[in-house]
Structure formats: structure tokens, C-alpha cells
Amino acid sequence: MIDFQTSPASYKHWRIEIDAPIAWLVMDVDESGGLMEGYELKLNSYDLGVDIELADAVQRLRFEHPEVKTVVIKSGKDNVFCAGANIRMLSGSTHAHKVNFCKFTNETRLAIEDATENSEQHWITALNGPTAGGGYELAASTDHIILADDSNSAVSLPEVPLLAVLPGTGGLTRLVDKRGVRRDRADVFCTTEEGVKGQRAVDWGLVDELARKSEFDEKVRSRALQIAELSNRPDNSTGVALNPLNREISASAITYSNVSAQIDRDQGIATIVLQAPDTAPPLSTDELHALGDSSWILQTAREFDDLLLHLRLNEAKVGLLLIKTTGDMQKLVAWDNFLLEHRDNWLVNEILLYWKRTLKRLDVNARTAYALIETDSAFAGLFAELLFAVDRSYMFEPDDAADGPFVILDEINFGPLPMGNGLTRLETRFLGEPEAVDAARTNIDRQLGSAEAMELGLVTDSFDDIDWDDEIRIALEERTSFSSDSLTGLEANLRFAGPETLETKIFGRLTAWQNWIFQRPNAAGDDGALKLYGTGTRPDFNRERT
């Protein structure tokens, strides 16, 4: 089982050194510490285990260290920054693991960018040597790149000439969309094995500045302090420790404090239940801070996030997530109102951003997601957002409308939790009829029964007690009978209507192409580049263009 829970005390590959307002995140990969057998992580190359620790560090720096305003990623090894994703790991991995590895690394790098954009915790990278492939992609996710000015240090994206694959962690997109590198220069850069160094790297926009080795550390620190002055993160606030989750895993269930999943492997269905809070929100942000990671709002986000990752990597044959909720809807709305009232507080802001990232994790999951709104459901506010994230939602229609179930919208559904396309899920849902968003907004804080929810377009369909069981059974049986490959393509194309952004390009265009390339013989065949890398034998490419 791949476990996404870790902590600095058990890191094998990273160190966090706090020197407020700077944090030094030191990449010092243990060669023998791979997640699986069959490869060594030489030259700070990485596998999923290295990135699980990185993702944990990103999260902890945001929650546990509000005093940190600049994070500097640097190498713990002399004369090399990072050789990128480990090639032996990639060549020996299953197709599914390759794709999910790339997806997770992309999510982690987007979390770094989110920290800068929305938490004012700025990230920079200090490149003290060769920086290749995923190493440069990691650097490109930060705000500022400093490259050592010597004969050894260069940046490169050599995946095309060496491995017959693409830079899988958004490198192509960040080159042209984020860093504004000219298309022709980007083409040269991505097909040059040795990469680019020195002033040419600055002139082309691949890095931001150079530093001579003799003054490298001093210049990095000086720049980090200068960038820290741009941040309004609090100087004297205490962070919130992220303790291990209370989690039990059995043969057919995963149970947390507020989230659970029952797994039916015969049908390929995981039924997820999220529990609304049974207590009112705190009276102040000080009380929220005192609750720490045991507050319902933060604990549930962490549990749901961990569950989605667990299902993604450890339950590959589960093709349908059936999402349910239960509990007190009014207390859930009260928590939403508390968060929105106190958004200027650093901890509240981080919790909202964490929910945003977790819901995005659901958006890009390669599984069908349905929601069932039953009599005891609690699809209000934050949990109502799940209805607009799933592919279909079904609502029970009682004989007496007063018996429920209900859907409740609040302000959290109209801005704070955007998708990767920059729109809310309601705006994405109603892209062709924006007036429907306005109509939904006029019904904020109302208990909407099945008839009103259907009229407002908030659910896919509703069934009475005579038809409910049969209709739901048919919907599930039909969906699980389809090809998983075609469903993955269908869902990914339909979920992201509207504007194309760096993020949607990464999870749409890049992921689709890389998914295809990972299965092609030019890369993954016995005579393909991934298999023959390092053997001295040139790959035998099929030269047909398709």
C-alpha cells in the first residue's frame, strides 16, 4: 500500500530548516530510499515517495509556519540540483503508476504556486548544478530561479531526445504560459540534451538570475529576504501542527473521524460518506486556532484528501465513487459563514485554500463520481459543492416535501472554491446559461427540495420511493459496464468547460498526450527509449506520424 501520510521526523529525502522569515527546503535524496525496488535514486532523482514528502512539506510550511514568508528549495548535494524523475523507476512502473505519479507531482507543484498566489508565501529555487527534467519543472513552479554561473550548472528538459516522452509535470506549459519563453526557443530548449546555461538561460527566460559560486549562498539569502518583504503573512502567529490522522483500513473499508468509504470490488464502487459537523463553529479565530488540526473543518479536509489519494493509487479497479453526506446542515452552513466572515485570518484562509485544492483533487480523479441525495443527507454549502463536482447527482423525492431531503446553497458556492479553469463549479455547470447562476444565488440559505433543486438545475434527476432503488441500481450497473478508458476520456473532457488555463492544460492536454505516449512502443516498448536508456543501444523508433 502506498501511504500519503508522513512527517518531517520520518523524511528520507528532504529537510526543513526554519530561519524566519525564510525556510530552507533541502532536497537530499537517499539513493537507497526508493518507494519500490529495482532502482537507485542517484543525483537527487526522485520517485513518488520523494514527492509525497515534498507535498507534505508544502502543506506543513503553510499551516505550521505562518512566520515563513519565503521558502528556498535547494540541493543538499554538491554540484547537482536534481536529475528529475528516476528513469529506472519510470521504465519499471505500470502504466497506471506512471500516469498517477505525474498527476500527483503536478498537483504538488500547483500547490506551491497556490502558496505564492493566495497565501503570500513566496517560493524560490537555488540551482547549484545540473537541473534536468522534473528538477527544472520543480524550479519552474517557484516564483524565482537563481542559477549558479559556472561551467557545470545548466537547466534542461531532455525528455524528448533521451526518453521519447514529454516533460510530465507541466514543464512545456510553464515555459510558454508562465515564463513567457518564445515558442522557437522553447522548441530548441526541449530538444537539446545538454540544456542551457549562463547568460543564455537568463536571456531566454529560463531562469531569473545568475550568481557566481563564490557568492551563491549569500545572493540566494539576500534575494529571499528581499522577496519576504512582499509578504503580509503574520510575524508572530503560532502555526497549527498537522498530527497523524485517525484512520483505520480494513479489507473493504477505510474509516476516519468524519469521512469513510466502503469498497465493493466486485462492482468497482467506493461509497464515500462525509459527516457534517455536530458542533457549532468557534466564536473567534483564536478559538479556531486553539482547536488546531482537530477542528472539524480542517480535519475533514485532511481526511477527504487522504482518502482520494488512497483510492487513486491503491484501488485502481474502483471506477465509480458514490458520494453521500449526513449530519446537521445548519451547523455546516454556520461553519461556512464563520470561514467567510474571517477570511482575512491567515489560518482561515489556509483552510479554505486546502478545501479548494482537495475539491480540485476530486475534479481530476480518473473515476466516475455520482452523488446521492437521500433523506438524511447534508448537501449544504461546502458539501453542496460536491454536487457540482460529480458527473451526475440523484435526489430522493419524498411523498411529503417537508420531509426532505434538501439542498442548501450559501456564499461559499459562489467564489471561494474555484476549479482549475478559474470558474466556480456552478459557473462551469451553467456555462451556456449564466442566468441560471443568478437564479441559484437568489435562493441562498433556503432549503431546496427535490422539485426546486430540479427546476434550478442543481441535480441531474430525482426519483420517488417507488423508483429510487431500481433507478439507482440501473444507473450504477450501466456505468460500471462501460470501458474505463473511454469513461476517463469522457469525464475529463466534460468536467472542464470554459476558459483554458495553465492548470487545465496540464491536466487536460498534457495528461492526455503523456498518457498516450506512455503506452506507445517508441517510449515504452522493449526497444523503446525508456527501456534502453543508459544501455548504449539506440531505440528503434516507428517513424509514422499519427
Q: Evaluate whether residue 497 is within a structural domain.
A: no
| Type of residue at 522 | N
**Do 176 and 297 share a structural domain?**
no
Q: Evaluate whether residue 14 is within a structural domain.
A: yes
Strand, helix or coil at 538? coil
For 359, the enclosing helix (H) or strand (E) is: helix 346-363
Split into its structural domains, the chain has a count of 2
User: Which among 470, 488, 506 is the end of a domain?
Assistant: 488
Q: For residue 416, give the C-alpha cell.
A: 471561494
**Do 162 and 201 share a structural domain?**
yes
**Do 205 and 120 share a structural domain?**
yes
**Do 284 and 198 share a structural domain?**
no
Per-residue HEC secondary structure of 266-327 comes to: CCCEEEEEEECCCCCCCCCHHHHHHHHHHCHHHHHHHHHHHHHHHHHHHCCCCCEEEEEEEC
Range of the domain at 105: 10-228
**Do 162 and 278 share a structural domain?**
no
**Do 432 and 382 share a structural domain?**
yes
**Do 264 and 188 share a structural domain?**
no
The predicted-structure confidence for 474-521, as pLDDT tens digits, reads as follows: 999 999 999 999 999 999 889 989 999 999 999 988 888 888 899 999
Q: Evaluate whether residue 287 is within a structural domain.
A: yes
Q: Evaluate whether residue 407 is within a structural domain.
A: yes
Q: Evaluate whether residue 128 is within a structural domain.
A: yes
Q: Evaluate whether residue 218 is within a structural domain.
A: yes
pTM as predicted? 0.97
Return phi, psi of residue 145, to 5°: -120, 125
**Do 209 and 286 share a structural domain?**
no
**Do 271 and 198 share a structural domain?**
no
Q: What averages of pLDDT result for each successive group of 10 residues across the chain (546 residues)? A: 97 98 98 96 98 98 98 97 96 92 96 97 98 98 97 96 91 95 97 96 98 96 98 94 97 97 97 97 97 98 98 96 98 98 97 98 96 97 98 96 94 98 97 97 97 98 97 98 93 91 90 87 92 91 89
**Do 255 and 224 share a structural domain?**
no
DSSP string, 360-414: HHHHT-SSEEEEEE-TT--EETTTHHHHHHSSEEEEEE-SSGGG---EE--GGGG
Q: Where are the beta strands (DSSP E) in 60-186?
A: 70-75, 122-127, 131-132, 144-148, 155-156
**Do 262 and 201 share a structural domain?**
no
Question: For residue 192, which of 126, 127, 132, 102 has the smallest C-alpha distance?
Answer: 132
**Do 397 and 267 share a structural domain?**
yes
Q: Evaluate whether residue 221 is within a structural domain.
A: yes
User: Which among 488, 514, 538 is the end of a domain?
Assistant: 488
- Nearest-angstrom CA–CA distance, 171 and 166: 9
User: Which among 459, 488, 517 is the end of a domain?
Assistant: 488
Q: Evaluate whether residue 434 is within a structural domain.
A: yes
CATH code of the domain containing 314: 3.90.226.10
Cβ(240)–Cβ(193) under 8 Å?
no
Q: For residue 364, give the C-alpha cell.
A: 481530476
**What is the reported pLDDT for 401?**
86
